[in-house]
Amino acid sequence: MKKYLGITMFLILLIAGCSTNEQQPPEKEEQQNVSNEQEIGEQEAPSVYNENLEVIAENLEIPWAIETFEDTVFLTERPGNIVKIQNGKVERHRVELEKELSTASEAGLLGFALDPNFIESNLAYAYYTYAEGTEQFSRIVTLRLENNVWKEERLLLDHIPSGTYHHGGRLKIGPDGYLYATTGDASDPDIAQDPNSLGGKILKMDVDGSIPGDNPFPNSYVYSYGHRNPQGLAWSAEGALYASEHGNRANDEVNLIESGKNYGWPLIEGEEELEGMVSPLFTSGDEATWAPSGMSYTEGKLYVAALRGRAVLEFDLETGEQREIISGLGRIRDVYIEDDFLYFISNNTDGRGDQQENDDRLYKIPLSKFN
Q: Which stretches of the chain drop beneath a pLDDT of 50? A: 1-45
> What pLDDT score does 19 carry?
34
| pLDDT, tens digit (0-9, with 9 covering 90-100), for 181-240 | 999 999 999 999 999 999 999 999 999 999 999 999 999 999 999 999 999 999 999 999
CB 254 within 8 A of CB 230: no
**Count of C-beta atoms within a 10 Å radius of residue 366:** 14
Q: What is the DSSP letter of 99?
A: S
| pLDDT, tens digit (0-9, with 9 covering 90-100), for 66-96 | 999 999 999 999 999 999 999 989 999 999 9
> What pLDDT score does 371 carry?
83
Rounded to whole angstroms, the Cα distance separating 233 from 231 reads 7
> What pLDDT score does 52 carry?
82
> What pLDDT score does 227 carry?
98
The set of long-range contacts for 134-139, using a CB threshold of 8 Å and a minimum separation of 24, is: 136/102, 136/104, 136/107, 136/162, 136/163, 136/164, 136/186, 137/161, 137/162, 138/110, 138/162, 138/167, 138/168, 138/169, 138/183, 139/99
